[in-house]
Structure 1
């Protein structure tokens, strides 16, 4: 406690019986340091008050100088007006995830190559820059690459669709995505521990993407003991950053081959998320993306419920008109097909185990009509046999 706060007269700021205040002033016990530095017996003798009144005085002074204590109920209602989720850019998937990607936690997106992991990360990076009225965070994005170059070409393909869908959105989507390349696991941990907090503070970053978390750790198989410690450190730092800054952390993970036995989380098949339990225990939510052997005609996707919900900041609703225009003006649209992919909630504290179907088109990730989810969910089970 600083000396100024310790000697300040705080009696008039306390919500206690006025008689206690009068007695304390008469005895010269007016500051927090003077009152809390005395024993209860001394205060009873000097102030001429009962033990009950002295306990009330000490409790009032303690509450005045210490941070306010909140119950869980108070904390929940105090932050009820704050943004708690980042939109995925697809209303169907937002509904599936009960709002989108949660802030203040670590979300892992895992799956085989080509399942749509990076597509989802790019879509989140674009929508994070939108204002909260559009489901975004109105903030910057930190994108950490570990295994390849940042997919700038694909990002630039998606940006024109964002401009048409949200004409009042950011003028430049690329200026607020801060890309950093790390070559190995030591640099990744150091980046998250030292460089990332500075970037978050200076540029108002609210979304952190690591693509991918497994690549740097897989490169050094000879250091198993140190690897486990670094994984623990990485997970701890990500959780601390997410919780303290109320931002979303999305960690892309690879898969590894298994012998076909059912995993700890009831996942059957010949692949499982990389890094094992050391990393799995540090993840709040795990989403598994899977490619299927099924395709869906493009015209069937465009006739589904419009995913371009109107933004309250004046955004237009162009997707339906654009798609139907393509159908009317191009015969190739009728023959174009999209591969059906599945998003499986493997575990999440507030969501049950369920599966959603989606496709990746020119604009990004788009959910498939709910009537078709059950049909494609069976494909996942067949593919995993």
Structure 2
């Protein structure tokens, strides 16, 4: 809320213009000043300066609503619909798709399909409405340089081909892949921050970017890459189950990292709630040695008892509303709802095709038993097989 642009505040036009002229572009910039500062900058009286601070503070403070008001808002036709993933089992479990107004996290080892699903959801938003999309913009924050315009182009061509096949020969000539491709690619705004400081600045300015591109989805791929590089990785300390020690070194770095991630999560949540859009983030995995988790045979703390868990720790896990775990068992890939306030423990198998993730119809009894066990909401071990350690 504090990052709301001054132009979107209900203020006197004279004051609004002078605030922007003095490089006070967000509510936070204004609230960091004292009444004396505002009197000097804007030529206000003491009373007017106090009133300006009170007005700005009141407009960015989260308002209270009754449970009935929340229910009515969510039930009205004007409320934004969830974003469909195209995976029938998942959309059914999530009540039609990825929820708006909250953070959805994709967790999994490298190469399992997190970026593929991110591209797929971006396409679902950017495709024209006539082809089943929302015809809206997407803001894609790419911290790992994994965004692939050619892959998005391939998905567009596959979707157009499917639509042409369904429409029949009479309407097929109307669908022009190159025109649709250009339309979709122009709707996706890509940012590539190279540090956590740049990522923080990008997130704080997201509201302006979202409004500029009429975006209905924000993707951060990935939330962990820069933070783990700059602030260290708890699993690298060699501690068993958790990191121990004093306030300096690795522990101090992790505390700094958690503080930065908390600020980023707060900004993303405020954006999602105020603009009623879904925010999708991807996360990496780390190996937990010992400390429980139901590992394989071997004494506690041994390599045979290691498990893969979502990176960034329990504090970050509390920041996300919905966690989807993608994992690979031998040659098969699975997606599991690991954390959700309203969804049961759902597992589905998928393959990666021309249009992205495609669900494999399969009865639940055919799924590996390890996938049907619900783990800790805080730890969320994504598999008990240590073989994945080589992929970290």
Q: TM tier, shorter chain?
A: 0.5 to 0.7
TM-aligned CA deviation for residue 70 of structure 1: 5.6
Residue 71 (1) aligns with residue 66 (2)? yes
What's 1:230 paired with? 260
Alignment check: 8 A CA contact 2:224 2:284 kept: yes
TM-score by length of 1: 0.64
Say yes or no: does 1:188 pair with 2:193. Answer: no
Structure 2: gaps (5+ residues): 1-9, 13-62, 165-174, 232-249, 295-304, 374-382, 386-392
How has the CA–CA distance of structure 1 residues 233 and 120 changed in structure 2, closer, same or farther, with 3 Å as cutoff? same
Residues 114-129 of structure 1 aligned to structure 2 (within 5 Å): 114-129=111-126
Query: Residues 211-222 of structure 1 correspond to what in structure 2 (within 5 A)?
Result: 211-221=221-231
**1:103: how far off?**
0.6
| Post-superposition CA distance 1:167-207 (Å, at most 9, x none) | 6798221111100001111111111012x111111111110
Q: CA RMSD in A?
A: 2.9
Does residue 241 (structure 1) correspond to residue 241 (structure 2)? The answer is: no
| Mapping for residues 202-351 of structure 1, pairs under 5 Å | 202-221=212-231, 223-259=253-289, 261-263=291-293, 270-294=307-331, 340-351=332-343
Correspondence for 1:158 among 150, 155, 160:
155
Q: Which residue does 2:348 correspond to in 1?
A: 356
- Aligned pair count reads 271
Instruction: State yes or no: 1:175 paired with 2:186.
Output: yes
**Partner Cα distance (1:187, 1:215) in 2:** 13
Return closer, same or farther for 1:263/1:281 CA change in 2, 3 Å cut-off.
Answer: farther
Provide the C-alpha distance between the structure 2 equivalents of 1:133 and 1:107, rounded to a whole number of angstroms: 27
Indicate the residue corresponding to 1:303 in structure 2.
none
**Conserved? CA contact 1:104–1:243, under 8 Å:** yes
Deviation at 1:349, TM superposition (A): 0.5
Cα distance in structure 2, aligned partners of 1:132 and 1:345 = 28
Q: Distance in 2 between matches of 1:384 and 1:218?
A: 23
Gaps of 5+ in 1: 4-67, 295-339
Measure how far apart 1:293 and its partner are: 1.2
What is the rounded CA distance, in whole Å, between the counterparts of 2:280 and 2:131 in structure 1?
20
Change (3 A) 1:153 1:73: same
Highest Rg: 1 or 2?
1
Which deviates the most, 176-185 or 361-370?
361-370
